[in-house]
């Protein structure tokens, strides 16, 4: 149980285009999902907290207009990287907590984004 999927696992896009990453909880309902980013040799850094039916809460320094988050259902949150640039190339990973809000957070396998 407690499986989270992410799609795509890898994506290469051209500079200036937008990329959408999906995060799904497959066997549980997730009121809250989290989006993280990891640069090489660094830790997972929280970008934003996504709550079903409401606006996401972004961490300091994360541009909300660049990283659009939509949590339209209890099993799906999406992260759209708009007008991507090479410096947005990174590993993006999501996690979800169950509807009651219990720990732990369950993670997806991540998405490797390369912007050329």
Check if the beta carbon of residue 25 is closer than 8 Å to that of residue 115: no
Torsion 25-88-56-18 (CA) sign:
negative
User: Of residues 97, 98, 113, 115, which one binds other proteins by CB under 8 A?
Assistant: 97
Quick one: CA torsion of 69, 104, 38, 55, rounded to 10 degrees? Answer: 20
Q: How many CB atoms within 10 Å of residue 34?
A: 21
Interface map 37-76 toward other proteins (x if CB under 8 A): ----xxxxxx--x-------x-------------------
Closer Cβ to other proteins, 43 or 54, answer by number: 43
Check if the beta carbon of residue 51 is closer than 8 Å to that of residue 6: no
User: Of residues 30, 106, 113, 115, which one binds other proteins by CB under 8 A?
Assistant: 106
**Shortest Cβ distance from residue 44 to other proteins (Å)?**
4
The footprint of other proteins (CB under 8 A) covers 4, 32, 34, 36, 41-46, 49, 57, 93, 97, 101, 103-110
């Amino acid at each position: 149980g407690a499986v989270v999927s992410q799609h795509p696992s890898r994506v290469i896009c051209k500079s200036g285009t937008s990329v959408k990453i999906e995060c799904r909880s497959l066997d549980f309902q997730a009121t809250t999902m989290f989006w993280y980013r990891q640069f090489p040799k660094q830790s997972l850094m929280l970008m934003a907290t996504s709550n079903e039916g409401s606006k996401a809460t972004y961490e300091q320094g994360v541009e909300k207009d660049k990283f659009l988050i939509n949590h339209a259902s209890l099993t799906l949150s999406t992260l759209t990287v708009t007008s991507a640039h090479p410096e947005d190339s990174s590993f993006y990973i999501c996690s979800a907590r169950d509807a009651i809000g219990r720990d732990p957070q369950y993670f997806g396998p991540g998405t490797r984004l390369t912007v050329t």
